[in-house]
Amino acid sequence: MKKKMININTNFLALPTFLSFENNGKEKAEGFEKGDLIYIFGYFKKCEKEGKIYKNFVVKSYNLIAGAKS
């Protein structure tokens, strides 16, 4: 199944409180600060559980946009 990949440029408002960006137990978003502009690449994934449909955004990669502050 082919996924529609999406590019997003966004303002990093605050560190996430309801989830974390981790890989092998290491925090991956710790280099970002409030107000940083970041680039996110990923896709939406729909899941159905107990009759409800959930739409999650799966992040494939993200980077700081160099020299950019909002």
Mapping DSSP onto H, E and C, the string for the chain reads CCCCCEEEEEECCCCCCCCCCEECCEECCCCCCCCEEEEEEEEEEEEEECCEEEEEEEEEEEEEEEEEEC
The predicted pLDDT at position 52 comes to 93
Q: Is the pTM of this model over 0.95?
A: no
Domain boundaries, the chain: 7-69
CB 69 within 8 A of CB 35: yes
Residues 6-37 pLDDT 10s: 888 878 777 655 455 555 666 666 677 778 88
User: Higher model confidence: residue 55 or residue 1?
Assistant: 55
Mean per-residue pLDDT, 35-52: 88
Closest by Cα among 56, 64, 61 to 7: 61
Mean of the per-residue pLDDT values of the chain = 76
The predicted pLDDT at position 18 comes to 46
